[in-house]
Chain A
Amino acid sequence: MTDQTYPALATANRNTSPTNASVKTQRLANQIMLFAIALVVTIVFAFPIYFMVSSSFKAENEVLASPVHIIPEDFQGIAQFQKAFETVPLGRYFFNSFLTAGIDVVVTVFFSALAGFGFAKYDFRGRRIFFFFILTTMTIPFQVLLVPLFIEVRSFGWDDSYAGLIVPGIMNAFGVFMMRQFAYGIPDELMDAARIDGASEFRIFWRIVFPLLAPASASLSIIIFLWSWNNFLWPLIVIKNQDLAPIQVGITAFTQAHSAEPQWAVAMAVSTLATLPVAFLFIFFQRYFIEGMTMGGVKG
């Protein structure tokens, strides 16, 4: 796949102005302009994150200092990180978060794609009601569902266990809704062609639709991982045994200590570490957002 920025534009220019030099200058100017805009926008957006990261290298009384210290003046090195690992079993927390998020992503993305496809491309009795019901679960504030959900999970015997921690979040209405929208964009001709060739409906899903939903799946994977990773309230309520606690509950040891002011520097250190996995995931999935990963075989 060649890096054609403006294929049509290039063609047009080649037709009207004969020199390659002016094409290159035009492209360079565009590149610089785009980069500049993107840079400014990115700095504005990323600054608070920079602040979080830089605070993890500050001494405790520097974090809240006013006027704000943009660069740590009393550089702590990895002292705050070490303190985090010494105070709580951070490795265990990371493991629990990974386990929960990993399972959530795989199960949610697969079943959301399946259900989204079902809602978008099939017409069966009850379709509207089922979709409405699933939408409902997204619209009621979780604080209200918290107590009865906990009562229910407890009745299964799952409180204070991995099952109770992971299973209630293993599917996501957002995922279903999102995949339905993306599934609408898949041309029926592709599916009909496969049916003519004798493929079963599930095979159509697995071989044709799911690969075409790759960009959406990539986005959804990042989103679900993020939500699962940052989930706080449910793990807090359902887990008592600290061996099962995820990162977000672990952070509270620094932000919500009893009769003590929060230790922000350490909390920022833990948060910085906590954002790395999702950042890596985002980078990893970038290749699904490259233009051109589209439906093959469609004639314009």
Chain B
Amino acid sequence: MTKRFGILTVMIALLAIVTSAVSAQDPVVVKLWMHNHPPRVPLDEAQIAKFEEENPGIKVEFTVVPDQEWDTTLGTALASGSGPDLFNQATFAIGQFYSQGVLAPLNPTAAGYADQAAVYDAYEAGDALLAGATFADTLYGLPTELSAYACYTNDALWEAAGLDPATDFPTTWEELKDVAEKLTVRDDAGALTQRGFDFKWDASIFMLLIFNPMVQQLGGQMIDEVNYTANINTPEVKQVLGYWNDWANTWKLGGAQYTSSRAAFLAGELATDCDGGNWFAPQAEEAGIEYSIHPIPVWENATNDNGFANYAYFFMVNSAASPEVQEASWKLAGYLTDNPAEYLDVAGLFQAKADFVASEAFTSNTIMPVFLDELAASTYHPRINGFFEVADALMRMRDRVVVGGEDIDTVLTEAQDEVTAILEASKPAQ
């Protein structure tokens, strides 16, 4: 009896040892999704290969997703329970994702930091820049690219108009109008063939990235992201909307009907483009444009000198993933955000790590300091549930005045009600 019992015990012990050894060898699989940014893809693949070598217990499934379909693809995957574990998401959607409980908070030690505070310290102007992924004093992401807009000038076009971009670049919106007029060219039939400057009209998101910051310069704030309230029917908004309207209809210097600003700049028919981040520079070079960078103008009667809104892409982790996968995901995220120099050089992406910013490589770069200044002077766009719905409503408001010719006061009043209703419906339950 004892003998059989002894053999049984040994067998069970062996079994336990074998299974634990086997399960210890089962690799943790991290599903990583990123946007399709061709210059960075080979870089990422190389980094991931190295990461897997150094971490044999972790395997990475890397998927690249077309940009415009990111929301559809990610939404479908998450709805079906097959979403990624680690994904590179924009701050536009972070309000939505956070309030729905999709995001797991950062695991600082897994990512290679002593604690959460160390993460903020590791980044230049960390508090301001990482604010994009901070909710209730907790950090929910590691930045893969930070973006601030600055103004690009097509120096050849400027010089052809007898202007010097270095000295003649306007510091106020009011001056911009005069400068743009000198850079505008029409053909015999009266059609615009070259614009001096134009806003980005074609997507609703720019109402919160460009329009709202212009209101902020005047001391206004269209959306309160903490209380989910709207402030639209104000003199500040009226001034900004009036300017956009004049730009298209009174001064006829541009408008939604023309080629979108970035494409027009690259094609050489727009002399000034103020909605490009540092990632736009390589594209301008490839298009053969000689450019220089300038800060965003402000109003003559401005109370703040912020630029356009900051936005960023952060590595975020799916809260539905198991704890081991989450830990491995943060480890991978930390690893992939540890090479700022290479990512800037090859892919034009800005990861404002403090030691990188202080390095020679950064300070010798002619354009990055301007972007860093803009980044530091501006704030993130509102990070709310219902971000796109609000943007859509604001674009409708703009078009009713600019394209539909409606009375601005009526439109502002109705927009106030519309956006307030959206915010109330989107407000997360406390």
Direct contact of A and B (CB under 8 A): yes
Q: Write the residues of chain A forming the contact surface with B, with a CB cutoff of 8 angstroms.
A: 60-61, 64-67, 87, 146-147, 150-151, 154, 159, 233, 236-237, 240, 242, 249, 252-253, 256-262
B73 within 8 A of A: yes
Question: In the complex, which of the residues A147, A237, A240 has the most CB atoms of chain B within 10 Å of its own CB atom?
Answer: A240
- Asked if A237 meets B279 with Cβ closer than 8 Å, knowing A253-B38, A258-B36, the reply is no
Shortest Cβ distance from A270 into chain B, in angstroms?
14
Q: Using CB atoms, name the residue of chain B closest to A259.
A: B279
Interface of chain B residues 140 through 164 with chain A (CB within 8 A): 145, 147
Q: How many angstroms from the CA of A128 to the CA of B346 in the assembled complex?
A: 62
Residues on B with C-beta less than 8 A from A252 are 36, 66-69
Shortest Cβ distance from A52 into chain B, in angstroms?
17
Given A258-B37, A259-B277, A261-B266, 20 new contacts (CB under 8 A): A64-B263, A66-B259, A66-B269, A67-B193, A146-B72, A146-B76, A147-B75, A147-B79, A236-B66, A236-B69, A237-B72, A237-B76, A252-B67, A252-B69, A256-B36, A256-B66, A258-B35, A258-B67, A260-B283, A262-B263
Q: How many A-B residue pairs have CB under 8 A?
A: 84
Residues on B with C-beta less than 8 A from A65 are 267, 269
Interface SS of chain B: helix, strand, loop or mixed? loop
A selection of 29 A-B contacts at a CB cut-off of 8 Å is A61-B266, A61-B288, A64-B264, A65-B267, A65-B269, A146-B72, A147-B75, A147-B80, A151-B80, A151-B81, A154-B80, A154-B82, A236-B73, A237-B72, A237-B76, A242-B64, A252-B36, A252-B69, A253-B38, A256-B36, A256-B68, A256-B69, A257-B38, A257-B67, A258-B35, A258-B67, A259-B145, A260-B38, A262-B263
Residues on A with C-beta less than 8 A from B349 are 259
B172 within 8 A of A: no
- Give the contacting residue for B73; candidates A66, A151, A237; CB below 8 A: A237
- CB atoms of A61 and B79 under 8 A apart: no
Question: In the complex, which of the residues B67, B77, B262 has the most CB atoms of chain A within 10 Å of its own CB atom?
Answer: B67
Shortest Cβ distance from B271 into chain A, in angstroms?
15
- Give the contacting residue for B63; candidates A64, A150, A154, A240; CB below 8 A: A240
Shortest Cβ distance from B140 into chain A, in angstroms?
21
Shortest Cβ distance from B365 into chain A, in angstroms?
18
Q: How many angstroms from the CA of A261 to the CA of B77 in the assembled complex?
A: 26
Q: Using CB atoms, name the residue of chain A closest to B289.
A: A61
Q: How many angstroms from the CA of A154 to the CA of B187 in the assembled complex?
A: 57
Shortest Cβ distance from A112 into chain B, in angstroms?
28
Interface 0/1 of B73-92, CB less than 8 Å to A: 10111011110000000000
- CB atoms of A261 and B269 under 8 A apart: no
Q: How many angstroms from the CA of A47 to the CA of B305 in the assembled complex?
A: 50
Shortest Cβ distance from A33 into chain B, in angstroms?
36
- Asked if A147 meets B38 with Cβ closer than 8 Å, knowing A64-B267, A240-B63, A261-B263, the reply is no
- CB atoms of B37 and A260 under 8 A apart: yes
Q: How many angstroms from the CA of A150 to the CA of B145 in the assembled complex?
A: 31
Residues on A with C-beta less than 8 A from B35 are 258-259
B8 within 8 A of A: no
Q: Using CB atoms, name the residue of chain A closest to B35.
A: A258
- CB atoms of B66 and A249 under 8 A apart: yes
